Structures are given as structure tokens and as C-alpha cells.
Amino acid sequence: MRIMGLDYGSKTVGVAISDELMITAQPVMTITRKSENKLRKTLARIEELIDEYEVSFVVLGYPKNMNNTEGARVEATMEFKEHLERRTGLEVYLQDERMSTIESERILMDAGVRREDRKEYVDKMAAAVILQTYMDSHPAK
């Protein structure tokens, strides 16, 4: 059993997958689309990855504002969650993603990734941070 973590953005979706023991999260890829409303290919690619990795459920980053309010990104994320659940038949859990991009940047900086190269990795690393946060707060039984 594996868990998929997603960092949903306006033009990208970062993807991470847990190991089989659900202890660690590994960044897998960033799915890019031309515009925010073009979800068909994005959902199809996520579905392929769910099959490939035998994913049991999905953890989706929940983009609350720093002051704990919900902004415009929350509405888009909730619509994406509904599309994802309908398309895959899997449960999608929400995980607070505040600070995940900052944490991802820090991890990449510590790993020596050059500033101009970080954009390529930050979304999938943010997905890994979101997934790892979920797994740390929900230990496997």
C-alpha cells in the first residue's frame, strides 16, 4: 500500500509517493498544464501514477492562508479534490500545506541545488513535504 501526495497549483501539480511502509515520501514528478482549467490530461496522468504505484489514497495540500483563513486557492483545490475523487474512486484527504513551499526551498538549498534550477524541483518537493507531514501525523498501524 502506498499514499500519493499532491501539491495543486494554478499551472502545476507536484506529485510524491510514499514508500510501501508509509514511512517516507519521495518526490516523483511535476505535472504541468497550459492553463488552470485544463485538468483532463492532468487527471489522466495522476490516474496512471495511481495504478503504477498501487496507491490506496491521496493526500492533497490544503492552501490555507497564514492567518488560518481560506482564500481563492482553497476553492480551486476543493474543485480539484472533487474531480480527483470522482475520476479515481479513491479517498482524498486534505493536509495543511502552509510553509510547504518554503520548506521545499530550504531542502533544495541545503542539497546545493542552484537557485535557477530550484523551480524545476520545488513543486514535487512540496508534494513530498505535504505527504511526509501527513504520514508523520498519521502513523501507519
| Paired residues of 92 in beta bridges | 58
User: And the C-alpha cell for 85?
Assistant: 475523487
The answer on pLDDT for 108 being more than 70 is no
- Mean predicted lDDT score pLDDT of the chain: 87
Residue 100 reports pLDDT greater than 90: no
In DSSP notation, 45-61 reads HHHHHHHHHTEEEEEEE
Three-state DSSP class for residue 79:
helix
Per-residue pLDDT of 7-53, as tens digits, reads 998 889 999 999 999 899 999 999 998 877 788 999 999 999 999 99
Residue carrying C-alpha cell 497564514:
66
Q: Which of 40-44, 116-120, 124-128 has the lowest mean pLDDT?
A: 116-120
Domain containing 72: what range?
2-137
Residue 115 DSSP SS3? helix
**Domain count of the chain?**
1
The 3-state DSSP class for residue 24 equals: coil
Residue 80 sits in a domain of what CATH number? 3.30.420.140
